[in-house]
Structure 1
Amino acid sequence: MNAAHEDNVYDGLADDHGDTHWAFGTGFEDGGAEITAPLPAGVDRADLAEYCLMLGDDALVYSQRLAEWVSNAPELEEEVALANTALDLLGQARVLLARSAHVEGAGRDEDQLAYWRTDAEFRNVALAELGNNGDFGKAIAQLLVFSSWRLALLHKLRGSADPVLAAVAVKGVKELTYHRDYAARWALRLGDGTDESHRRMSAALDWVWPRVAELFRTSDVERRLAAAGVAVDPAETQAEVDEVLDEVLRRATLSRPERPPAGTIGGRSGRQGVHTEALGRVLAEMQSLARQHPEATW
């Protein structure tokens, strides 16, 4: 072993890697675009900043939920897999929030967007914020739905007129393919396993299903940007996601839950800043250090 590594194995994490230091090594240098790339012609600046927030907040909040499994997963291998999935999403979030901050032009950066907004200012879907109380079956159901949906979304977003969104999508498709495969394999293992694992996986799907409909609900911002060739209308991903989920459930001897979708408040939900109380708890933990030491640097 290298003697320097014996002294402090964490030294490498503190090295200054410049703008390419995403998620401790999940770099953006191969993404084919810079955060400061010009906006596509004719695109509203506020709309693009908001859309990057939507996708970035989905990834940021859900990565925090996945990170809760560190030291809590049933096996070390699953702990590592879920931690790596969280890091993949954190890498995506950092690029998207940095792009949002740049496009917004208000002098904020990715850290300020992550740590200094209230829950009403976040734009993630409710599925990303739900806590599963240490139930591994619920974690798998949540990851299966989220990764199937985000993979379909990013697959279409590779052709975005915004070069940063397109670059995030190209890289993210590779990551989400693994996430979806991991969740699908566990869904099969649990659904077609013992009577107890089948029962608990069925219950997990019942728990997550009311939040599925929101994934395909199109906001005004998404509609405008999709027409401009920048965003993806999430409604256009539903057929693909349904096909994937139906196939996984069939192979896992599980049934599609017959649960009504969660309600909205005046037609507003996560994309408009209306969240479950679960988000407040996630942010309280995620933002606590930054708020206690606002002048700290790392």
Structure 2
Amino acid sequence: MTEHNPQLADYLLRLGDSALILSQRLCAWCGHAPTLEEDLALSNVALDLLGQARLWLDYAGAKLSPRQSEDDLAYRRDAQGFRNVLLTEQPNGNFADTQLRQFLFDSWHCLVLRELSDSADSQVAAIAAKALKEASYHLRRSSEWVVRLGDGSARSHRYAQNALNHCWDYVGELFEMDALEQKMLGLGIGCDLAALHPEWLNYVQEVLTAATLKLPLKPSGLCGGKRGRHGEALVGLLMEMQHLTRIHPGAEW
């Protein structure tokens, strides 16, 4: 029988919810991207993230008492029950907004998954190792788009810089080590997010330089998503995502 561990479940939800919510955001581009190729590419990234979310949520649900399924966790929690980082729930905005959000997440996500691949928890390590292959591809794509947008036309550069300035408010949370993160690190399950920041920043700066974009100087202190404190953006997203399950509880098709 699986041992119940609510703290581990909460940690796993941080990983699963971030992938799930970003996947849902990207799905909204289906049929609306600037090119057919990009329409398919964004949909594929969304599907990758959804697959990762299913693995994290299934494992999280097994650690709860009573056990919950991935569907229970995705469709039957209110906003305050979600543990995704705030960056992932930010609205799509224009194409530059989406790509800068994706780039900042991908560059962090790859580092976290790399570290978690060596987790003392064998299932965390296995999920992370599988997800890392997909996340590495995501990062290549989003990095290329940041350079293309930033070093493109005057208009695309302006849009990209504005998107970066907005998203920068939320990157601090990516490296926040609260009590739960410290607990998981101490057990050898999690990783030291704060220690990843210098490597992340070096890579981000390298890409932004190629894109002729300026690194924002303002502090990036908006946080709370990992502890269930979210804004109206997530509420609206969940209303759409959970609509069918809410109006037809228990339905199967």
Q: Do 2:172 and 2:222's aligned partners in 1 also have CA atoms closer than 8 Å?
A: no
Which letter does structure 2 place at the counterpart of 1:178? Y
Alignment-derived partner of residue 98 in structure 1:
58
Q: For 2:242, what is the secondary structure of its paired residue? A: helix
**TM score, norm. by length of structure 2:** 0.96
Match of 1:243 among 202, 224, 237: 202
* Distance of 1:94 and 1:132 partners within structure 2: 22
Deviation, 1:262, is 4.0
Deviations 1:212-248 (A, max 9, x none): 1111111211111111110112212211210110000
The amino acid that maps onto 1:238 is: H
Partner of 2:191: 232
Give the corresponding residue for 1:211: 170
- Matched position secondary structure for 2:63: helix
Residue 84 of structure 2 corresponds to which residue in structure 1? 124
Which residue number in structure 2 is paired with residue 278 of structure 1? 233
Separation of aligned partners in 2, 1:146 and 1:176? 10
- Alpha-carbon offset, residue 197 of structure 1: 1.2
- Assess if the C-alpha contact under 8 Å between 1:219 and 1:271 holds in 2: no
Larger Cα-atom Rg: 1
Structure 2 segments unaligned to the other structure (5+ residues): none
What letter is aligned with 1:125?
A: V
Q: Name the residue aligned to 1:64.
A: 24
Identity within the alignment, %: 42
1:1-298 counterparts in 2 under 5 A?
45-133=5-93, 135-263=94-222, 269-298=224-253
Kept in 1: contact 2:22–2:89 (CA 8 A) = yes
Distance 1:233 1:271 in 2: 15
* Paired positions, count: 253
Counterpart of 1:242, as a letter, is L
Q: Counterparts of 2:222 and 2:157 in 1: how far apart (Å)?
A: 28
**CA distance, structure 2, for counterparts of residue 236 and residue 284 of structure 1:** 36
Q: State the secondary structure of the residue aligned to 1:212.
A: helix
- CA distance in 1 between counterparts of 2:222 and 2:17 reads 21
Letter aligned with residue 284 of structure 1 = M
Q: Report the AA paired with residue 171 of structure 1.
A: K
What is the CA–CA distance in structure 1 between the aligned matches of 2:69 and 2:60, rounded to whole Å? 9
Question: Which whole-Å CA distance do the structure 1 matches of 2:90 and 2:168 have between them?
Answer: 12
How much does 1:107 deviate?
2.8
Deviations 1:103-159 (A, max 9, x none): 1131321100110101001011100100023x0000110000001101110000000
Residues 173 and 222 in structure 2, CA contact (< 8 A), matched pair in contact too: no
TM-score by length of 1: 0.82
